[in-house]
Amino acid sequence: MTKAIVLVAGIGATLSLASAEPVQIEATVMPKEEVRLDFADGSKRFVQLLNREGEATGSGPLDGTTVAEYGMHDIVPGVGGDANGYLVFTAGEGDIAYVKWLLRAVFVPGPEGKPSLLNSGLWEVIGGTGQFEGLNGAGRLHIEFPSQTDRVFVLEGEMLSAAEE
């Protein structure tokens, strides 16, 4: 019985050491390439395929990496939209973390009758190389709009690197 208790206690200690850590990353990206389809049916709907690039800062293993967005945005101005894609985080050594994301946006009445955008989504780590191999994580996503073209992907959640398992 004592061996069983020691074994269970040892497993519990191992599991507690492998707990995910809270992270918050802000990935500021600027446009590099765009393909756009504007609907000619009067709906003002458009679809964009975007490649944006920039830098990531914050807490956790993705801090200090470069980031590229590969995204598809389906938008009806003044109504709402859906967006999804991948963020590719690259460390100075060439190690890569792949993050899949999806987002829903809704326009609501704002100040002076202008529409205000609310958006919320999810993200998850789906793969990695080098130091990011075995990285796990997921959380909430919000996108901020500091300019007409630049975006800030705000990822909040938890991550666990393979080295911590």
pLDDT at 18: 63
pLDDT at 113: 84
**143 near 155, Cβ under 8 Å?**
no
Query: What separation in angstroms does the CA of 132 have from each of 17, 61, 62, 70, 76?
Result: 18, 8, 9, 19, 37
> What is the rounded CA–CA span in Å between residue 159 and residue 45?
36
pLDDT at 161: 83
pLDDT at 15: 38
| Residue given tokens 């975007």 in the structure block | 50
**Token pair of 129, please?**
């190389």
**59 near 51, Cβ under 8 Å?**
no
pLDDT at 12: 41
CA 106 to chain centre: 19
Q: Can you give the pTM of this predicted structure? A: 0.85
**pLDDT, tens digit, 9 for 90 and up, residues 102-156:** 999 999 998 898 888 999 999 999 999 999 999 999 999 999 999 999 999 999 9
> Would you give the DSSP letter of residue 65?
-
**pLDDT, tens digit, 9 for 90 and up, residues 2-42:** 444 433 344 343 334 468 899 999 999 999 999 999 999 99
Burial class (CB in 10 A: 0-12, 13-18, 19+), 7: exposed
pLDDT at 163: 64
H or E element at residue 141: strand 136-144
**pLDDT, tens digit, 9 for 90 and up, residues 64-75:** 999 999 999 999
